Amino acid sequence: MHDWLTPDWPAPANVRACVTTRSGGVSAAPFDTFNLGDHVDDDPAAVAANRAQLVEALGCQPAWLRQVHGVVVAEADPAVVIEADGNWTATPGIACTAMTADCLPALFCDRAGTRVAAAHAGWRGLASGVLEATVKTLDVAPQELLVWLGPAIGPAAFEVGSEVREAFVHQHAEAAGAFLPGAKAGKFMADIYQLARIRLAAIGVTAVSGGGFCTYNDPRFYSYRRSPRTGRFASLVWLQS
């Protein structure tokens, strides 16, 4: 039985999206049970079985990425695994996919329902501009884009150093409001959702939904900070065939 999320955003009727959780699947602990990551030391046969379940349940073909916390956004291709942190497509039936376990997944579509994209944004990728690169690659006027921010580590759990704060504030002064002093000297609690919204707004993308999750505190999701040896869940978006 799969207990997955359907994003609540004003996407066109032909745009579909889904976020998997830990429920369903065949992976054993500590990857139990619906791990989709093939790079986390899970049994490859279990990962393959979980991915096959995903295809059967959604009726589309996910395009998997080898994510490296960078800013490359590639055209989605289910036939190959591309080293990138975002992918896009205008082809129905191909699902753009981001795998995470605390990092921020962001799903994109245009209001006309002609193209979609998914981006994986850890703090490094976010600071380096992976969301901006995704918008640029989609080649759609920013005001015509809709974005949904999926489950990521929440502001009450995301403790970072001063260098992380500086990386964002140096680019956008208003990003200072996304950091609160932590319990330890020199540490800050960061709101990755607020940081993403600031960066998207700066390039004219203001129709942003989602946020409000915390993978660290919500057992439905994998969390690297909660347990470094863990699986990955997926956020997917595709055009209906």
Q: Which helix (H) or strand (E) holds 99?
A: strand 94-100
What pLDDT is stored for residue 234 in this prediction? 98
Beta bridge partners of 49: none
Residue pair 72/83 in contact by the 8 Å Cβ criterion: yes
Which tokens sit at 132?
Answer: 């901006």
Question: What is the distance between the alpha carbons of residues 160 and 26, in angstroms, rounded to a whole number?
Answer: 34
Q: How far is CA 237 from CA 2, 57, 58, 76, 79, in A?
A: 17, 14, 10, 11, 17
| Token digits of residue 15 | 């745009």
Instruction: Report the alpha-carbon distance of residue 139 to residue 212 in Å, rounded.
Output: 28
Residue closest to 226 by CA, chosen among 139, 133, 154, 166: 154
Is 201 in contact with 53 (CB distance < 8 Å)? no
Residue 55 CA to residue 239 CA, distance in Å, equals 14
pLDDT at 124: 97
Looking at residue 5, the DSSP 8-state letter turns out to be B
Q: List the pLDDT tens digit at each of the 241 positions of the chain.
A: 589 999 999 999 999 999 999 999 999 999 999 999 999 999 999 999 999 999 999 999 999 999 999 999 999 999 999 999 999 999 999 999 999 999 999 999 999 999 999 999 999 999 999 999 999 999 999 999 999 999 999 999 999 999 999 999 999 999 999 999 999 999 999 999 999 999 999 999 999 999 999 999 999 999 999 999 999 999 999 999 8
Residue 69: phi, psi to the nearest 5?
A: 60, 40
What pTM value is reported for the model?
0.97
Round to whole Å and give the CA distance between 104 and 151.
7
Q: What is the pLDDT of residue 241?
A: 81
What structural domains and CATH numbers belong to the chain?
A: 15-152+205-239 (3.60.140.10)
